[in-house]
Structure formats: structure tokens, C-alpha cells
Structure 1
């Protein structure tokens, strides 16, 4: 059974409730180690009125103690969630665990705490000096994002960076397992994939990057740039499991419309294995007694247990 470090995310959100409620279930799949100090765990337990399982193993000395403020964005919770994440990474680097499960953080809380990263993937790139790839989805459909948390006005410039896009395509192909004849659906950027330049010409850069990637890979694995608004139709999803989107909402809007409850977030192209839930801190229901949907959490744990 694999040993998995779990960073607890923003403790003012729903992550710790997921951890406490599902400890026994995930314990059947992996051996979890939670990166949280006991005194803060006890705070959360009392607020949630959920007892701490006897075999709930903690890796302590994470960070300074603070008072939980359910559903509030605070620098203290941001700093602690980042410290929990760093501890999980440390355990993985030291080979004390086989993978990392990250519960949801709040980006504004990280910002308030003075953390320079916008999310886990940004930080992992820096920690490992590697071009980590963000892929989200489930067994029915996975979407990799070429650009992630950047303003829309900057995406065109990124797409025109042929060398960077080509290397992304090479790295993504190298990070997944395709069947012999399987292809990866590559999305264009513009409406109608540009309509031969009438609606934008970024597709010519995508085509060039694709050609360069295929030269390095040694075979054709990516499609021509698809029209973005038809690539996720039922017929297309029968043909393709993997999709590469040029920007965040292009790929994640259809994914979450189709598979929101079961999707997970995976970091590829790293020397460690990391997965996460594909949802946020849900401050609107945190500590309210609402029953949580645990499918994304369990699916992420299942991925870590078999990868």
C-alpha cells in the first residue's frame, strides 16, 4: 500500500472536513500522512463536530498556530496551507512518501500571506525547476492546459511562442500512456480555429509547434488544431481521451460541465506524483454541516494509489 502525504489546504474551507470524514475510506486505498499540527486539527474537529480517528497520522511542526475562522480569507490560513504543502513536498523529495495529495487552497489567502505563487502548479515548477503540466479530468476525459492562470490578453503571445508550445506538446506526450493508434485532440485558439486567418492567425503557430513536436516524437500523435466549440461533442469524446487546450477556461468549462463531481487535478512532468481535487475551498458551505461530495477526493486518491 502506497504512503501518501496530504497537505490540508486552506483550513477555513472544506478540505479538513473531507479529510476527517473520508479517512477510513482512503485508508483502504493508501496510507495517509496529514501535514497538520495536532492543536489546529483539534480546533477543526471541534468546529465541525467530527471526531479525530485514532489512526489519523499527522506530520507536525508545520507552522505557527492560529485561530480558524470558517469561510474567511485570512493571511494566517494562507500561510499555513502553503506550509502544509511545502511539508508534503519535502516528504516526497525525501522519499518518505510515494505521492502528494493536495486539498484546496485559496489563492487570495496565499496572496495575503505574501506567497508569490498563484497555485500549487506554479510552486512545483519552482521547487523542482521543471515545466510541470496541469492536467484535469477523469477516466472519460482529460484536459491539459498550455496556459493556466494568466490574463486572457497574454494568451496570444504565449501561443506564438513556438519553441515553448512545441516543448509542452513533447513533454505532455511523454507524460501519458497512449494506445498504439490513439491521438491527442489539439485545440485551436480562435473561434472556428481562425477560419484560415479571417478570425485570427494564432493557429499557424500551433501548427508549426505541432510539426516540431512530431519531428522530436517521431510520429504523429496530435490532431490538427480543432475548432474549440465542437471538439468536446459526444462524437469527439468517443474518439479522444486527451485534449490540449490553449487556455484555462477553454478546456475547463466543458470539462466541469460534463464531469465536475468526479474530475481531479494532476501534475505531470515532475519527479514526484501529485494529485488534487478539482474544486475549491467552498467557503459558502464550509463548517455549515452540509454533506460534502467526496467523489473528486476519492478519485484523486485512487489515482495516487495506482500511479
Structure 2
């Protein structure tokens, strides 16, 4: 199986992870790296690593920037976006079966005038699909109803129609229900005392279950106690940090990022550019390796559920 790898921000930990993991992942797939070999040579020199043999690299057709460890630059943003677009080109042309993305820096994309907050938003716009961001591992998966938006905008996004559509699109990927749906407010609103969004959330859950024909979703759950007993493997969070704080506290090194509702499989690491350890030979590779394994797993119809 061939997987296109977009290399993320070159000033972060992405290239270190790529170089250190190549031997292991090349045993389970054929990685196609969307990067210039010259740039990998720069990274290997800084890290004092040997460049792996038989690398398959495809240039992203962007000027090759100079590596500046832990620096946010327009040039690194342009290059990471070009690498991502090259990976999309390969999967659209069916030259690869899936893509895995290494972490970008959102500020670098902004400096490069890229009109997206991140990969998920770009995929949503480019493919005109209501894609769903899911992060996690086999012990806990977290689907995000809203992803990279300001917290002050979350409440306005929660409507009966939007949440119902989200739940119905997510439902086919849940093969061991139920999936817990978190409320938005403290104490899940406390019967309207602390907010009324939970009324809409409850209505959407009830309607989704009726249309599906089984109790696939439960809630709205009180967010601060929903994970104490770990009753379920699947949850829906109303906003980014509500879901990712417990996930990363419990399974940070194991979890991955998975994008649902695309005509191909896209996985990613569940961490950022880690500028604090960039080019220090301290980067963890487990999330990346797990992301590659999951891309292989989800590329087969019988294993399309998470």
C-alpha cells in the first residue's frame, strides 16, 4: 500500500519523526514523502542522522526554505502547505491510497496567507465535504462537533439541524455503541440554570437515534464527570479543548487524528510542531507510526469503523 506523507512545518519535529520512523513504516507500507531530498539532507545534518536508503520523495514545487529550528516563518508555512497539496494531488490521481500529515504551524500558515486554520478546514473546503475531526486511540475516540474556531463562537454553532446532521454522519463509523455526547455548559446546563444549549443537544440525540433505529448516542452528559468511569470508547465533544484535554491527559502518546467523510483516508499525528524540542533528538514517533497503521487499517472496507 502507498501512503503520501506531507511533512508539516520543517522547523518543528516533523522531519525528525520522518527520518527516525522510515525503517519501521517502510516494512508495512510504501511511504511517498512530499518533500525535497535536499531539505531532508539539511534536517539529517542538523540532527546528526543518516538519511535512510531508498527514500521515495516527490518535490512539492515550492522554493526550498532553510531550516530554522523552532522559528515561525512565512517560508516554512508555504512549504508545509505545498507539501500538503502535493499529497492531495497524489491521492486524487490514485497514485496513493491514503495520506498521513505531519504537524503544521497555524501561525506560519497565516503568515503565508493560507486561508485555513489547519488541515481539517482545508480538507472541508477543498472537497466541499462536512468532514469530521476524530482524535484518539482504540481506548478512547473523541469526535469534535466544532474544531478550530474561537470558543466564543461555539454556542452559536449548536443548532438542532447542524448537530443532527453531524450525528448522522458520524453514526456509521461507530461499531460499538453507545457514543456519549457531551453537554456544552457546566453540569450540562443544570436543567437550564446554567444554559439552554443542552435542550437542543438532547433533541438532536433523540432524533438521530430514532432515524438510526437504535440508541447509538446518549447524552447530553455532564462534561466534567463523563470520563471518570470510562464507560464508553466514543464521545462527541462540543468544542476542541473540551474533548482533547481528557484525551491527551490519558493517551497523548498513543492517539492519532483521523478525518472522516472524505473519499480517501487521511490520518495525522495528534500533536503539534513541538518547537520546544525541535531538532533536539527528543521527538516521539509513536503517534506517527500509529497514524500510518490506522491509515492502512481504514483503507479496507471491512475496517472502516474506528
Q: Structure 2: how far apart are the matches of 1:61 and 1:190? A: 44
> Of residues 255, 262, 266 in structure 1, which corresponds to 2:254?
262
Q: 1:293 aligns with which of 272, 284, 289?
A: 284
Alignment of 1:162-173 (within 5 A): 162-173=160-171
**Equivalent of residue 219 in structure 1, options 190, 214, 217:** 214
Residue 252 of structure 1 pairs with residue 244 of structure 2: yes
Structure 2, gaps ≥5 residues long: 299-306
TM-score by length of 2: 0.95
Contact 2:188 2:220 in 1 (8 A): yes
Matches within 5 A, 1:172-191: 172-174=170-172, 176-179=173-176, 182-191=177-186
Spell out, residue by residue over 1:30-49, the C-alpha distance to the aligned partner (whole angstroms, 9 max, x if none).
11000001222222221222
Deviations 1:55-89 (A, max 9, x none): 11101243112211111000000000000001101
Residue aligning to 2:5: 6
SS in 2 for 1:186: strand
Q: How is 1:1-307 mapped onto 2 (pairs within 5 angstroms)? A: 2-159=1-158, 161-174=159-172, 176-179=173-176, 182-233=177-228, 235=229, 237=230, 239-288=231-280, 290-307=281-298
Alpha-carbon separation, structure 1, partners of 2:284 and 2:295: 19
Change (3 A) 1:244 1:177: closer
Q: Are the counterparts in 2 of residues 190 and 199 from structure 1 also a CA contact under 8 Å?
A: yes
Q: Find the residue that maps to 1:284 and give its secondary structure.
A: helix
Q: How far apart, CA to CA, are the structure 2 residues paired with 1:299 and 1:38?
A: 24
Taking structure 1 as the reference length, the TM-score comes to 0.94
Deviates more, 1:147-156 or 1:9-18: 147-156
Q: In 2, distance between residues paired with 1:69 and 1:206?
A: 46
* Deviating 4+ runs (over 6 angstroms): none
- Superposed displacement of residue 229, structure 1: 0.7
Q: Assess if the C-alpha contact under 8 Å between 2:60 and 2:83 holds in 1.
A: no
Q: Which whole-Å CA distance do the structure 2 matches of 1:191 and 1:144 have between them?
A: 19
RMSD between aligned residues: 1.1
Q: CA deviation at 1:217?
A: 2.1
Distance 2:14 2:36 in 1: 15
Count matched residues.
298
Alignment check: 8 A CA contact 2:265 2:295 kept: yes
The answer as to whether partners of 1:35 and 1:62 remain within 8 angstroms in 2 is: no
